[in-house]
């Protein structure tokens, strides 16, 4: 992007002044290099978000921002219902509640390396991955309704995991206000055989090593130690979430004129929060969040089973599970007053600071774990939410590296076999049913996740705690 279009607030914050239909400022967190390398569409999209009814504070873009559907990936915006604020299906995205969870273990890197190839093989057999992947679980109509209402709590009650897992999931693994009966039959049908599956794209399960600590006190609270093996899972609501997004984007686009809403972009289709359509979407989206919670919980159960076969008595304790494609009702301080807002985070993660009531007691003093997944073959990060993030961006942070080129461009530049071989030379085993999928997710197709998290820290969005590197990657 052209830096001359922006006002530089400081080395890590840039601002677009209100122009045209914009109701608030647009703010991007980036250094000069990241901002210059962002495609122009990010600036256009964040301006459009700033023009939506009822938006408060500003429209934000995180350091990993890139072009998306409606909102940029890495977009954050909050809306006040009493001011005609809207909920936008494009501001949540198609993969509702796509998120990351991290498990700490009592194993070392050497433990993993001693069985690396065999462990990778068995994980790839146990974890269905790829486009249209199907699992061994089949849900009938009653089970589907219970899952959409109960989320990870339903999964645990069904034998997938442990009750203590729920304390380490946002919303305790069960999003209140879900409306399973409003989820379409087509969305339910798409999900009926997809529970406990990774899917495709940038989703993965990785066995990683804790390579470096940056905040010893917080790392101790998170129970992270150097040379510890950890397991990161990144996936979402699969076919159900995609179908919900498809259906409500269409319905909202058609309904917008009737609400007196002029859309700056059809992809920003929305409805007033307090309208029947807005409330119905929120209820269905919350059911999608519960689906993602349950899906990740089942994947944890399947992973634990595999580890138990290799390492009897192995511990895979959940550190935290947090989503990055949601619209959440939250209270935030705006102009010195507590306000009830509906915060859209698309490709952005919640980053509550120390003392937040939503955090379990064991994490309250340290702040919320912010889990930043790297691109395949590169490092991932554990950050911690900060008190400063509330004022900076409504307690939000980045969620990953952010794409530097499209999947089509990546597939033209790399081959799956070549990427897999190169990663193997660096000690990383990749298992995937799709060679093209590996090429599309080549590490070089993404921005530097290290630079992204450094900017996030310098901007006050979250602080670095630990750097993780992959040893095994199960890829969709």
Sign of CA dihedral 445, 30, 389, 269: negative
Q: Are 54 and 80 in contact (CB under 8 A)?
A: yes
Work out the angle between the directed axes of helices 238-255 and 276-310 (0-180°, nearest 10): 170
Place of tokens 């989503």: 323
Nearest to 42 by CA among 12, 17, 22, 62: 62
Within the chain, what is the greatest distance between any pair of CA atoms?
Answer: 63
Q: Are 321 and 170 in contact (CB under 8 A)?
A: yes
φ, ψ at 90 (rounded to 5°): -70, -20
**3-state SS assignment for residue 245:** helix
Sign of CA dihedral 66, 72, 73, 74: positive
Residues near 2 by Cβ (< 8 Å), separated by ≥ 6? 40
Sign of CA dihedral 70, 71, 72, 74: negative
- Residues 82-110: b if buried by 16+ CB within 10 A, e if exposed: eebbbbbbbbbbbbbbbbbbbbbbebbbe
Catalytic-residue membership of 399? yes
Nearest to 320 by CA among 266, 262, 373, 360: 360
Of these residues, 103, 399, 408, 426, which one is catalytic? 399
User: Active-site residues: which are they?
Assistant: 399
């Amino acid at each position: 992007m052209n830096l001359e279009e922006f006002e530089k607030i400081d080395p890590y914050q840039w601002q677009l002044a209100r122009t045209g239909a914009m109701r608030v400022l647009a703010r991007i967190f980036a250094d000069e290099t990241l901002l210059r390398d962002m495609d122009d569409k990010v600036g256009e999209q964040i301006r459009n978000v700033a023009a939506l009814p009822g938006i408060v504070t500003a429209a934000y873009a995180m350091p990993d921002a890139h072009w998306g559907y409606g909102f940029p990936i890495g977009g954050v915006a909050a809306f006040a219902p009493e001011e005609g604020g809207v909920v936008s299906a494009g501001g949540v995205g198609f993969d509702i509640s796509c998120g990351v969870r991290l498990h700490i273990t009592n194993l070392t890197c050497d433990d993993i390396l001693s069985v690396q190839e065999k462990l990778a093989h068995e994980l790839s057999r146990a974890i269905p991955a790829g486009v249209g992947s199907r699992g061994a679980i089949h849900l009938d109509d009653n089970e589907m309704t219970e899952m959409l209402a109960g989320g990870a709590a339903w999964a645990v009650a069904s034998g997938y995991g442990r009750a203590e897992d729920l304390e380490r999931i946002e919303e305790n693994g069960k999003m209140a206000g879900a409306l399973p009966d409003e989820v379409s039959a087509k969305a339910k049908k798409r999900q009926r055989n997809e529970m406990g599956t990774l899917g495709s794209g940038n989703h993965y399960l990785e066995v990683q090593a804790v390579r470096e600590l940056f905040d010893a006190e917080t790392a101790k609270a998170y129970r992270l130690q150097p040379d510890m093996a950890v397991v990161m899972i990144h996936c979402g609501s699969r076919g159900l979430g995609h179908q919900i997004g498809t259906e409500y984007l269409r319905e909202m686009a058609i309904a917008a004129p009737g609400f007196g809403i002029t859309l700056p972009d059809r992809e920003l289709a929305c409805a007033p929060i307090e309208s029947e359509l807005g409330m119905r979407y929120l209820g269905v989206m919350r059911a999608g969040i519960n689906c993602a919670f349950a899906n990740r919980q089942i994947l944890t159960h399947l992973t634990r089973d595999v580890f138990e076969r290799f390492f009897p008595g192995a511990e895979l304790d959940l550190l935290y599970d947090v989503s990055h494609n949601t619209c959440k009702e939250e209270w935030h301080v705006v102009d010195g007053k507590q306000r009830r807002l509906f915060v859209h985070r698309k490709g952005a993660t919640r980053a509550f600071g120390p003392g937040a009531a939503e955090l379990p007691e064991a994490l309250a003093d340290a702040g919320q774990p912010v889990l930043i997944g790297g691109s395949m073959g590169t490092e991932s990060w554990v950050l911690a939410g900060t008190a400063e993030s509330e004022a900076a961006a409504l307690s939000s942070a980045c969620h990953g590296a952010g794409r530097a080129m499209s999947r089509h461009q990546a597939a033209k530049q790399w081959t799956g076999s070549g990427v897999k071989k190169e990663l193997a030379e660096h000690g990383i085993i990749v298992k995937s049913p799709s060679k093209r999928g590996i090429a599309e997710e080549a590490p070089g197709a993404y921005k530097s996740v290290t630079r992204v998290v450094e900017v996030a820290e310098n901007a006050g969005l979250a602080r670095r705690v630990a750097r993780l590197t992959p040893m095994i990657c199960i890829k969709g």
